[in-house]
Amino acid sequence: MTTIKATSFESLLAALEQLANKYRTFAPTREDGVTGFRPLDQMTEEQRQAVAPIAFDNKPTVGSIKSFFFPDSETYIKFRREGRKVEQEALEAMSLQIILGAKSCDIKSVELIDKVFLADPVDSLYQEKREKSIIIATVCAEPGKSCTCREFGVSPMVPTADLLMMQGDQDAVYLTAQTAKGNHLVEQLLDLQSFVVADPLPLRSASEAPAGQLSPEQVQNKMDELFKSPLWDKLAMTCLGCGTCTYYCPTCHCYDIRDFNRKDQGVRYRTWDSCMFANFTNMAGGHNPRPTRKDRLQNRFFHKLNYFVKKQGVLACVGCGRCAELCPVGISISRVLQEIGGDIHVS
């Protein structure tokens, strides 16, 4: 696959802007101190300058890239009512998009969501966004402070993505296509003449320290053993019952379907939902199979570390560290793995 090189990060951004009539580019930047992806065409100069340092930082953005494929809210029916008749209206078509500067962990997390949303019956809302997106991954120089990706078999240095982006000397940027979609973009960038074909930069994967990788089966078994453990009560005692862990987790994908209407028109949309909310399982008649915070917290960690393994063969965590960074009371996957203890690593 081809590798191309531009002399500066700015020339990459400028080239992507030239493709704006075909692709909408999103890149990580900072707004009021918080990192996140924003459309390149809506950034201030200051935000544009912040893209490269954040993209190459050894840490994912606060919000994950899952929202490009599974938006926090998406309308799939628009309707208008006349008398007792309801007419559906056409929705705006989605344009092609480039996600610049995604991290290994986030890319892996989307591959995990694929296992659910692309399984029969295929979620076409999700599939369309997957197909219409090109992901350009950045390589982490080393794992960040809260990162445990390598425990989950994610290599921060070798992301699977349409394109790999690396920093060379003197601000040079290298893009290596890894898929047909990536190659197609490379060809278009070469046509713009700000890029030249180059030799790929060596990946640092060789120098990667061997990390103790978790064994999904052993974690699953350990969780089975601990189903009735007081650990879940203990953790739940300080849980705030908010949705931060789930909304910022790149692998969480629970949703709700809601309707909204005013007068004679309205929408049906799908929106993120959280298994940590009491409403999530509360039925119209008042029955709730997961009535307490303990039930909900336990279900969440079992889903990640046990049920998902049983269904899909892998742990539903990529070690991005967001729960560790964001949970106000410090209840994270890392902490749970520490608490369950035992022999859960690949020997």
Q: Does 146 bind another protein (CB under 8 A)?
A: yes
Q: Site for another protein (CB under 8 A): how many residues?
A: 100
9/21 Cα distance (integer angstroms): 21
Reported as half-sphere exposure (CB side, CA atoms, 13 A), residue 98 has a value of 29
Mask for 105-144, x = binds another protein (CB under 8 A): -----------xx---xxxxx-xx--x-------------
Among 142, 205, 261, 346, binds another protein (CB under 8 A): 261
Which of 45, 210, 283, 343 is the binder for another protein (CB under 8 A)?
283
Q: Where are the alpha helices (DSSP H) in 263-307?
A: 293-302
* Helix ranges (DSSP H) in 239-321: 244-248, 293-302, 308-312
CB of 320 to another protein, least distance (A): 13
**By CB under 8 A, is residue 259 in contact with another protein?**
yes
79 versus 153: smaller Cβ distance to another protein? 79
In whole angstroms, the minimum distance from the beta carbon of 198 to another protein comes to 36
Closest approach, Cβ 9 to another protein, in A, equals: 25
User: Does residue 31 belong to the site contacting another protein (CB under 8 A)?
Assistant: yes
For residue 167, what are the β-bridge partners?
173
Exactly one of 53, 313, 328, 342 binds another protein (CB under 8 A); that residue is 328
The contact pattern for another protein, residues 285-314, with x = CB under 8 A and - = no contact, is x-x-xxxxxxx---x--xx--xxx-xx---
- C-alpha closest to that of 203 among 149, 171, 164: 164
53 near another protein (CB under 8 A): no
Least Å distance between CB 192 and another protein? 30
- Answer yes or no whether residue 22 interacts with another protein by CB under 8 A: no
* Dist CA 62 CA 332 (whole Å): 15
Contact 69, 126 (CB under 8 A): yes
Which of 243, 249, 317, 320 touches another protein by CB under 8 A? Answer: 243
Question: Which structure tokens are listed for 337?
Answer: 């793995």
- Min dist. Cβ of residue 5 to another protein (A): 35
Based on its alpha-carbon atoms, the radius of gyration of the chain, rounded to whole angstroms, reads 22
- Match 């029916």 to its residue by tokens: 77
Does position 284 interact with another protein (CB under 8 A)? The reply is yes
Q: What values do phi and psi take at 238, rounded to 5? A: -110, 0
Antiparallel, parallel or unpaired: β 96-102 and 23-31? parallel
Enumerate residues 203-242 that contact another protein by CB under 8 A.
Answer: 224, 227, 233-234, 236-238, 240-242
Read off the amino acid at residue 236: A
Instruction: Decide if residue 39 touches another protein (CB under 8 A).
Output: no
Indicate if the alpha-carbon torsion angle 321, 322, 326, 328 is positive or negative: negative
What region, left, alpha or beta, does residue 32 occupy, with left being phi > 0 and alpha being psi -120 to 50 degrees? left
**Is residue 32 a contact residue for another protein (CB under 8 A)?**
yes
* Chain residues 156-195 in contact with another protein, contact rule CB under 8 A: none
